[in-house]
């Protein structure tokens, strides 16, 4: 397997030891090939999946011209400048059309969704109509074609309404059903294997020994991955031991399209992992100009992409959201725009920031007197996972930016938009 270093080293501004966030994201993107496999699933099961075919209506939706309101279908040419008295010759309901033709001087009572009776072209809402014996009196001021929904107005037969690469949400499920389609082709789910590395890690359910910490990264990762709708392969905790790590990487890359690990990429540990990686595939070790999350590995083992995230719990989340999420969605075959929106809001307090790196401070977006502002959570250390739990957004402080004064606009990414 080769090609990753070749691909990224020709990118502008590629410097593995001081890589800007945007360059790192571009380098990853340049190396990815989306998965190809597809499967057919019933419409309901396609929720959250990536469409793999054109959806082309074979019918117009709506299939007939119909009424948008409860009222009377009339011939516009019958209407006089003043009031017009028409004879009611029948009625039409949704699903029960009027059979017959409406002649001059006639009208039909109809309900919302009812097919427009032949001969009529305009609907007058019932609220403005007056009954006079067996006549229906239409007031002046009606407009031709008012309150009519036309066949094909929503979807037109023959032209694709959904394209491959679109993530199917509730609206798309309804739209597909409105065409009478019961099954759709979607991309197969991306398979993602993950494990934590570290001699100090204890698994939930065991007692902590001296110097140990519970492995929380695998839970955070599970949550972030589950929200992306990928197939998960949890390979547990792996000791900092070459033989065990090799086994884990081999197993993971054989089963998964992408492998995510945490820990083991910081300077003190990188050498030994690096050697192992070099043996198994092609892996790049980066120092990214960001905080938190400076060290990160990216590469390929066999046909599987590897994302070696830092061990610090907050750094895991930040690097996942800034790099891995985008990569996994791209690998999944998405072609719609899934970039995380950046909103601009004033900072309610000064923020410390050093120019020359991108910072992702944990923020709380809050409302003060009708205006949205952002402040930081307390402790910003990259090991303080509590800061992620207290936060509802990242405050993204751009590479060149220095310290921020209170009242300055800053960019935020809502955590709830990251799913």
Separation of alpha carbons 241 and 375, rounded Å: 42
Judged by CB under 5 A, the chain residues 261 through 280 that form the site for Mg ion are: 263
Asked if 299 touches Mg ion (CB under 5 A), the answer is no
Site for ligand AMP in 337-396 (CB under 6 A): 383
Considering only the stretches 164-172, 224-232, 307-315, 393-401, report the one whose residues sit in contact with ligand AMP under the rule CB under 6 A.
Answer: 307-315
For ligand AMP, the closer of residues 71 and 299 by Cβ is 299
Query: Is 310 near ligand AMP (CB under 6 A)?
Result: yes
Question: What sign results for the dihedral spanned by CA atoms 311, 316, 319, 320?
Answer: positive
- The whole-angstrom separation of Cα 332 and Cα 165 is 9
* 299 touches, from ligand AMP, Mg ion, none (C-beta below 5 to 8 Å by class): none
Closest CA relative to residue 345, chosen from 289, 293, 392, 290: 392
Stretch 240-259 residues interacting with Mg ion (CB under 5 A): none
Is residue 215 within 8 A of residue 385, CB to CB? The reply is: no
- Contact (Cβ atoms closer than 8 angstroms) between residue 411 and residue 384: no
By beta-carbon proximity to ligand AMP, the closer residue of 66 and 312 is 312
Report yes or no: 136 and 79 within 8 Å, Cβ to Cβ.
no
Picked from Mg ion, ligand AMP, none, the partner binding residue 216 (CB below 5 to 8 A depending on kind) is ligand AMP
Question: From start to end of 273-408, where are the E strands?
Answer: 282-287, 290-291, 295-301, 304-309, 343-346, 358-368, 371-376, 393-397
Q: Rule CB under 6 A: which of 227-266 touch ligand AMP?
A: 262-264, 266
Q: Indicate which of ligand AMP, Mg ion, none lies near residue 313 (CB less than 5 to 8 Å, by partner kind).
A: ligand AMP
How many CB atoms neighbour CB 287 within 10 A? 17
Number of shown-chain residues binding ligand AMP (CB under 6 A): 18
Give the Cβ contact number of residue 418 at 10 Å.
Answer: 16
Least Cβ distance, residue 264 to Mg ion (angstroms) = 5
Pick the stretch among 151-159, 165-173, 178-186, 208-216 that binds ligand AMP (CB under 6 A).
208-216
Nearest-angstrom CA–CA distance, 87 and 85:
7
Binding residues (CB under 6 A) for ligand AMP: these are 196, 198, 200-201, 213, 215-217, 262-264, 266, 269, 310-313, 383
Binding residues (CB under 5 A) for Mg ion: these are 198, 263, 311
């Amino acid at each position: 397997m080769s090609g990753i270093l070749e691909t990224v080293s020709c990118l502008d501004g590629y410097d593995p030891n001081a890589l800007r966030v945007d360059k790192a994201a571009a380098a990853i993107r340049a190396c990815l090939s989306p998965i190809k496999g597809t499967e057919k699933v019933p419409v309901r099961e396609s929720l959250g999946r990536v469409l793999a075919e054109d959806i082309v209506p074979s019918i117009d939706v709506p299939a007939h011209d119909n009424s948008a309101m409860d009222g009377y279908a009339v011939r516009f040419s019958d209407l006089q400048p003043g009031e017009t008295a028409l004879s009611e010759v029948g009625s039409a309901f949704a699903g029960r059309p009027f059979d017959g033709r409406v002649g001059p001087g006639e009208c039909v009572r109809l309900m919302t969704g009812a097919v427009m009776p032949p001969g009529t072209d305009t609907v007058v809402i019932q609220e403005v109509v007056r009954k006079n014996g067996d006549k229906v009196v239409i007031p002046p001021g009606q407009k031709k074609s008012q309150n009519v929904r036309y066949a094909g107005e929503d979807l037109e037969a023959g032209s694709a309404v959904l394209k491959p690469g679109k993530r199917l949400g509730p609206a798309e499920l309804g739209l597909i059903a409105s065409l009478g389609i019961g099954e759709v082709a979607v991309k197969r789910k991306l398979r993602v294997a993950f494990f934590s590395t570290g001699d100090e890690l204890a698994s939930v359910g065991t007692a902590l020994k001296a110097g140990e910490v519970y492995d929380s990264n695998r839970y955070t990762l599970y949550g972030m991955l589950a929200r992306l709708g990928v197939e998960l392969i949890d390979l547990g905790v792996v000791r900092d031991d070459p033989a065990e790590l090799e086994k884990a990487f081999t197993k993971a890359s054989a089963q998964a399209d992408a492998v995510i690990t945490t820990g083991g990429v910081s300077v003190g540990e990188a050498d030994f992992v690096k050697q192992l990686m070099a043996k198994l595939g092609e892996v790049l070790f980066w120092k990214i100009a960001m905080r938190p999350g400076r060290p990160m590995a990216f590469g390929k083992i066999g046909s599987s992409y590897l994302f070696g995230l830092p061990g610090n719990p907050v750094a895991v989340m930040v690097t996942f959201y800034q790099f891995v999420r985008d990569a996994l969605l791209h690998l999944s075959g998405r072609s719609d725009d899934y970039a995380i929106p950046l909103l601009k809001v004033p900072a309610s307090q000064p923020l410390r920031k050093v120019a020359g790196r991108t910072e992702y401070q944990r923020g709380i977006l809050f409302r003060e007197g009708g205006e949205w502002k952002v402040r930081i959570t307390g402790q910003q250390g990259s090991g303080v996972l509590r800061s992620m739990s207290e936060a509802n957004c990242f405050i993204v402080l751009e590479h060149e930016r220095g310290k921020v004064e209170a009242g300055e606009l800053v960019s935020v990414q809502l955590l709830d938009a990251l799913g």
